[in-house]
Amino acid sequence: MTLVQWRDEYRTGIASVDYEHEALIQILNDLHAQLDGSAEKQAVANFLGEINTKISAHFALEEKIMRDCGYDQYADHKADHERLLDGIRDIMDDFDRDIYFRYEEVLAAHLRDWFTQHFKTRDARLHKMLG
């Protein structure tokens, strides 16, 4: 099952960002396919760590591009990135403390909804401003 479906409307027009967006979606979908209700705790922990690392690295690239071009909505865009990373870290902390965790309800839905909304709004605006 695909978690996030890539769509052309998500393109920013910045080759390096678009490449990373597609790669992030592929990683999300690959790891999502590996996990199911019977996934071992270590598999889920590895998934969370890898997603957090990959997303953080991508955001660093995107934020550098925005700073370099003097993007007028940099602070808001960066704050949206931080909200997702904070949410992932909260989920990781809860998971480490054995707080009830349902992958499908918590992380999968959160990531899918955040990415699709962020691509269509914040990244689309960035594309228009840079285009």
Per-residue pLDDT in tens (0 to 9) along the chain, 131 residues:
788 888 887 888 888 888 988 988 888 888 777 766 566 778 778 888 888 999 999 999 999 999 999 999 999 999 999 998 998 888 888 888 877 666 666 667 777 888 888 888 888 888 777 76
CATH number at residue 82: 1.20.120.50
Quote the pLDDT of residue 101: 62
- Residue 81 within a domain: yes
pLDDT value at position 100? 61
* Domain-embedded: residue 5: no
CA–CA distances in Å: residue 5 to residues 12, 18, 56, 63, 101:
16, 14, 21, 24, 24
Residue in the block written with tokens 């592929």: 26
Is 96 domain-assigned? Answer: yes
- Report pLDDT for 81: 93
On whether residue 3 sits in a domain, the answer given is no
Domain of residue 116 covers 12-130
Task: Tell me what pLDDT residue 37 has.
Answer: 58
Contact status, residue 76 vs residue 63, Cβ threshold 8 Å: no
Instruction: Quote the pLDDT of residue 104.
Output: 62
Task: Let me know if residue 1 belongs to a domain.
Answer: no
**Residue 25 belongs to a domain:** yes
Q: What pTM was computed for the model?
A: 0.81
Number of domains in the chain: 1
